[in-house]
Amino acid sequence: MKITILTIGSRGDVQPYLALGVGLQQAGHTVKLTTHELFRDFVTSYGLGFFPIGVNLQAIIQGSGHDLVESTNPFQALNRLRQALDPVMAECLEQSWQACQDADLVISTGTAFWGDDIAVKLGRGSVFALLYPMVFTQEILSPLMPPSLRLEPGFNGLSHQVINRFYWQIYRASINRWRQNTLGEAPLGGCPFFGDRWKTQLKLFGYSSQVVPFPKDWDQTCQVTGYWFLDSPRDFAPPPGLMDFLADGDPPVSIGFGSMASRSLETTLEIALAALKKEGQRGILLTGWSGVSDPDLPDSVFKLESVPHDWLFPQMGAIVHHGGAGTTAAALRSGVPSVVVPFFADQPFWGDRARQLKVSPTPIPRKQLSVDHLATAIHRAIADRALRQRAGQLGARLRAEGGVAAAVAAIEASFG
């Protein structure tokens, strides 16, 4: 088959689908990943086709994204996302349409779910590939709701109703204009995440049921395959000086907050560095897309913009991160305990899952972060033998799963 995968977002919204695409291509299919131009080299280095969507997500994250991650209200955060994306959605939708013209199968994601509209119009196959449990269930609170909201029975299902309908409102006006003007179809009257088509479509979930158990009220259209991990390139070479740094003492603590952009990120990093100093720990600072200025670092801290997590994390003493789905997955897979400092969206959910699995200390919300709190959590992540043993055991089980292979098999069983 010729397969087009659509996704927008940060690297965490791209990398799992690149892994899935690699697996599909290795199975004999021709795969094209449609996403932002800045990921072109990343995608093509793995041999996949590429089609650009013109949204500059890095600019959005470093601009209005500051306001987005400052919000503790999920509805306010989603509304700010709508305001940030609305000016660029028309171009994004048109490019998505062009990218799928030669596809036999369109794979839509949680951030680019309109691929299904394209597949219907073209009469092609369609699959949803999702990174968190966004399908209605009474067993799991919506991952975009604060995990502390453990209320009376029935609230879990209501949380999915509310969040998914609100999420649809971010895109509703843009998608309905595009449906009329480009697809020649009527506007959608209601939220597609509760429509008849959604209920019958194959939905693959790229996480492990060992981390989020499969809800008993889901049906056979939902399949949790295991994580879609992307292994680092065979020719990967670590940056100069990194191997010497790693060999020059005990395993360091990795500190990185991915693409999180916040007016207080400089302060967050200062707290993290002070916590390392208090605990007498060495550190690896991963700056990512955060746009943070070059900090004045001691010799005990090595700075990197990015490095493959599957290579770095197993060599760490602990991993301090923001709780993004992809980073959390890589940390769990490594078998090294995390300290999660969630900013917004689904990050508190993943941090809370690690806590419930007893492989991580209690997450520290960014607005509650302090030197003492972080130092205490880092100390436990390094010194608590039972926690480290559980983390190691879970990591081994996750490494034994074949999430990509299971997803490829599910797709081929339905469309092969």
**Sequential pLDDT tens for the chain (416 residues):** 999 999 998 888 899 999 999 999 999 999 999 999 989 999 999 999 999 987 665 555 545 444 555 555 656 666 666 677 777 888 999 999 999 999 999 999 999 999 999 999 999 999 999 999 999 999 999 999 988 876 666 889 999 999 999 889 889 999 999 999 999 999 998 999 999 999 999 999 999 999 999 999 999 999 999 999 998 888 889 988 999 999 999 999 999 987 655 556 778 888 999 999 999 999 999 986 555 555 678 899 999 888 899 999 999 999 999 999 999 999 999 999 999 999 888 999 999 999 999 999 999 998 899 999 999 999 999 999 999 999 999 999 999 999 999 999 999 999 97
Q: Give the chain's radius of gyration (CA, Å).
A: 21
What CATH number does the domain located at 2-227+402-415 have?
Answer: 3.40.50.2000
Q: Which fold has domain 242-400?
A: Rossmann fold (3.40.50)
Distance of alpha carbon 22 from alpha carbon 233, whole angstroms: 12
Geometric angle at alpha carbon 97, from 29 and 411, rounded to 5°: 30
Q: At what angle do helices 89-99 and 155-178 cross, to 10 degrees?
A: 80
Distance of alpha carbon 117 from alpha carbon 355, whole angstroms: 38
Distance of alpha carbon 57 from alpha carbon 14, whole angstroms: 12
- For CATH 3.40.50.2000, list the domain ranges present in the chain: 2-227+402-415, 242-400
Strands of the sheet with 283-286, listed across from one edge: 301-304, 283-286, 253-256, 318-321, 338-340
pTM of the predicted model as reported, rounded to 2 decimal places: 0.92
Tokens of 206: 């790229």
